[in-house]
Chains A and B, each alone.
Chain A
């Protein structure tokens, strides 16, 4: 039963999973929440591809698998290409009449972390988006290479400490801004692009459903709080994600056909970013007097981006 008919979280939690609970993701990892929600929001058959990363290494260690559906992993960079190869084969076999069940609806989905999406698999993702395959790419964005012990990615925000962009006596951590992957994907002319978060589970399910039902290449960036590398208590995953969306560090919005921007969540009370930063070990050093300017910079970047999103929403450009 798909989430379309599910009214509340209690009902959702007893839903029949195609993603098994038996996996080796860290306790508190948001990846499994996001993946389960995607798989529960549709009754259609699914072909899923995963890039190398936390999700992949934790769900398909021979002789076990967590995937009760068709699933493929090739390398770090090419899940978008793997799943679009499958989608091309689906079209070929449909035309030739060699599918076992030609009328059963099939959806093609690729998962990647921010390492594979923003960085090493960027070209493969861009190519698949440009070719216009009917598929949905979901980035599980935890803002670092968590699978290999927390190195910097181009999604890591300014000021966060990572093992390859460390905070120290001469550094406040990462110096560069997070890459705006949502804007880049929207610029591909994708029919549906969104940034969603698992604490807002209904809007996330709705966004997933829209992407799956939309013909053509869709992209969704999801906030996936990482207790291990962001350094917070595993029980606080949703609390941290609430702070991420309420500080507008992660605004929740969609872009249709590259220009119709809709903000999907407006916090009643916008929380100052200090609260979000202070809740995570990776930003601890920013509260030293000499790094105060970095917090100010993060807050002003947030304000500026939120202002830009609202203006784009209004202008429809």
Chain B
């Protein structure tokens, strides 16, 4: 029996520590992991709990991230709770098996501490790894700060393991900015946290020999499409479960989460849409600009990157005239992927706002409040002019000649 861990009402934890405490409180049965910067402390902290008797489950240190997720799949198919953590190159190495985990409908929780993808090698935070996961069939939830990383990791078990969902869940936080920055955190007691997460309920358990189960069968053109469609449906249907779990967690903690988080949007004329820790920077900038310059600006951010909250995103942005969408990932010869998704959502509404795209913060390049303000002012200028006054895609914080490839043709 695991030793009791002393926990205070208010703790000072960084995002990594917060996530590892959530894994401990959820009483995970198997953690199979491989360390990588900046998520290494998640598994190091967990290893510390193991070494000191706070964990009853198994802790398997494998030889690579691909093996970490492979081991998680074997474990999750064997009727117990499973979690791991990774970043960047490790996430990329896992990519093959991420699809297998979701295709087999295994509710694994993966803490992803976002970091850039090489080359050039870079250990700092951007969202390249998060974007790489966006078609993998996982639920992707985004924490903007360390306390949210704790909260949402607990919620992830409830969501993924829900009988009508049974899908793996990633909980994203930004490398270093969130993962290594300590803040005041209000954790649940171990008892309350476990009560919220609940006992694990197995489905198609390989260790139940009264009902033999075959995992990972082959399907070709006769069945593959139906399987993938069913998986997509499960992802889309998970939206109501996510809403329910967030509501329940809100009652427990007073911390209320929504699949799309809107800030000062009630009367907003312009908006900025972002992801990760940048959302907090944007909120500060918006608040200050409202006070200092009277710009009616609001901030919109998806809490749920997958399933993408298409309708809620359109609703949140339905009243604005100009929107900047911020992508913290190299667009690779296109508009930012997030820009495309937000644009598609607003295009479906009656209002047709002016939408521009900023590529920013790659490889951990700082994104300041001043820069956020500049972008907001630019949106105000678009709104006042009634047309986009810049290139559609711009690069924020980039040294050298100004880049732009997409001319605005709307007036």
Contact = CB atoms under 8 A, between A and B. Distances in A.
Contacts of B213: 70-71
B72 A85 contact: yes
Contacts of A61: 217-219
A248 interface: no
Given A100-B208, A123-B63, A72 B97 contact: no
Contacts of A49: 74
Contacts of B77: 72, 82, 86
A45 interface: yes
Interface string A23-41: 0000000000000000000
B282 to A, nearest CB: 40
A271 interface: no
B284 interface: no
A288 interface: no
Interface string A51-86: 000001100111101011111111101100111111
B15 interface: no
A245 to B, nearest CB: 33
Question: Which size class do B's interface residues fall under?
Answer: 35 or more
Contacts of B80: 89, 92-93, 98
A71 B214 contact: yes
Interface string A90-128: 111101101111001010000000000000000110110
Contact of A57 (B62, B67, B218): B218
Given A78-B70, A85-B78, A131 B212 contact: no
Contacts, number: 157
A295 interface: no
Contacts of A83: 74
Contacts of A56: 218
Nearest to A59: B214
Contacts of A314: none
A275 interface: no
A88 B218 contact: no
B70 A74 contact: yes
Contact of B207 (A57, A70, A75, A77): A70
B75 interface: yes
B28 to A, nearest CB: 9
A47 interface: yes
Interface stretch (B35-43, B52-60, B384-392): B52-60
A85 B66 contact: no
Interface residues of A, number: 47
Contacts of A93: 29, 78-80, 207
Nearest to B29: A92
A126 B210 contact: no
B128 interface: no
Contacts of A70: 206-207, 209, 212-213
Contact of B58 (A60, A88, A106): A88
B98 to A, nearest CB: 11
B266 interface: no
B215 A72 contact: yes
Contact of A127 (B63, B72, B96): B63
Given A47-B78, A82-B70, A127-B67, A89 B29 contact: yes
A91 B62 contact: no
A56 B217 CA distance: 8
Contact of A85 (B32, B208, B217, B218): B32
Contact of A88 (B30, B56, B66, B223): B30
B216 interface: yes
Interface centre among A49, A75, A89, A96, by most chain B C-beta atoms within 10 angstroms, is A89
A72 B216 contact: yes
B209 A72 contact: no
A84 B56 contact: no
Interface centre among B60, B64, B214, B216, by most chain A C-beta atoms within 10 angstroms, is B214
CB-CB nearest 3 A-B residue pairs: A85-B74, A127-B63, A85-B71
Interface of A: 45, 47, 49, 56-57, 60-63, 65, 67-75, 77-78, 81-86, 88-93, 95-96, 98-101, 104, 106, 123-124, 126-127, 130-131
Interface of B: 29-30, 32, 56-58, 60-64, 66-67, 70-80, 82, 96-97, 100, 200, 205-210, 212-219, 223, 227
